[in-house]
Amino acid sequence: MKVIYKKELRGYFNGMMGYVFAAFALIVIGIYTFAVNLSQSYPNFEYALDSCRFVFLLLIPMLTMRAISEERRQRTDQLLYSSPVSTWGVIWGKFLASLTVFALPLAVSCAYPLILSRYGEVNLKSAYAGIFGFLLMGGACIAIGIFLSALTDNQMVAAVMCFGALVLCYLMPSLANMVSASAFTSFAGFSLLAVAAAYVIFSATGNTAAAGGFGGACIVALGLIYYFKSPWLEGALNRAMNSLSIFSRFSYFVYGIFDLNTVLYFATFILLFLYFTVQVIEKRRWS
């Protein structure tokens, strides 16, 4: 894993992507720090991070689009498949390299609250908790980007898919408010998700029986719940959609709440998408 991590990190900076990302991220954070903390006289540095999170929807796809798609395009992924490093080691190395590049401008921005505290009263604990929360949120977005990069050998396609997925997560609370809270809507929505999950299982394993069995069992279970316990489904789809909004979870840190459940949520989100990535690569390795 250390070899993969060093190779990826060196690749980011040799290809100038790391420098471009770090420079642009610092410029964005600096602009919002000036606009929020200096011009509007807010003492909370986490407000500046909250204001610039939408801009990172553009930056993170640039960071992750080459993670695996470039390996597939150049056929160097065959070297990874035959290396003594496990698939988990390869993916962890790529993820940690991307996270390191993401963390570099945040490390520099750790000085901003100290500078601001020289000219006013700044809650340093809340500011650094916000930086930590922003790092976790970035890690979750990077995990999504790496997974989508594993699905294609075209960097631009990977970037567009990542951008679309992150925008969808960003808009999820608004979309959830537009969806009916009826039991039938939840039944229909979860049934579609079951079909999508079955397709993902089939894509990852190639096992039609496992994918069909999983999808069918989920739909039958949903049908039984809808028939016998329909109140259980009322508003369930809305709650599930809200739970996918990784950007709204960062709001806890913005409001000065260091919630361990939110930390666990981000960690679970990261592990889940890295697991999906490992399954995609394992299928390709043995196919």
DSSP H or E segment with residue 226: helix 208-228
Q: How many residues does the chain have?
A: 287
pLDDT score, position 18:
79
Spatial contact of 91 and 278, defined as CB atoms under 8 Å apart: yes
Kindly give, in sequence order, each residue whose CB lies less than 8 Å from that of residue 24, ignoring residues fewer than 6 positions away: 59
pLDDT score, position 276:
87
Kindly give, in sequence order, each residue whose CB lies less than 8 Å from that of residue 153, ignoring residues fewer than 6 positions away: 69, 72, 73
Nearest alpha carbon to residue 269 among 169, 191, 177: 169
Q: Residue 40 carries which DSSP code?
A: S
Mean pLDDT in residue range 150-174: 87
pLDDT score, position 193:
84
Residue 138 scores a pLDDT above 90: yes
Among 34-43, 65-74, 228-237, 270-279, the least confident range: 65-74
pLDDT score, position 13:
67
Please give the structure tokens belonging to residue 281: 């690569």
- Count of CA atoms in the C-beta half-sphere (13 A) of 231: 0
Residue 108 scores a pLDDT above 90: yes
- Helical residues (DSSP H) of 150-182, grouped into ranges: 155-178
* pLDDT confidence tier of residue 37, bands split at 50, 70 and 90: confident
pLDDT in tens, 184-215: 888 888 888 888 888 767 765 667 887 888 88
Q: Residue 85 carries which DSSP code?
A: S
pLDDT score, position 120:
78
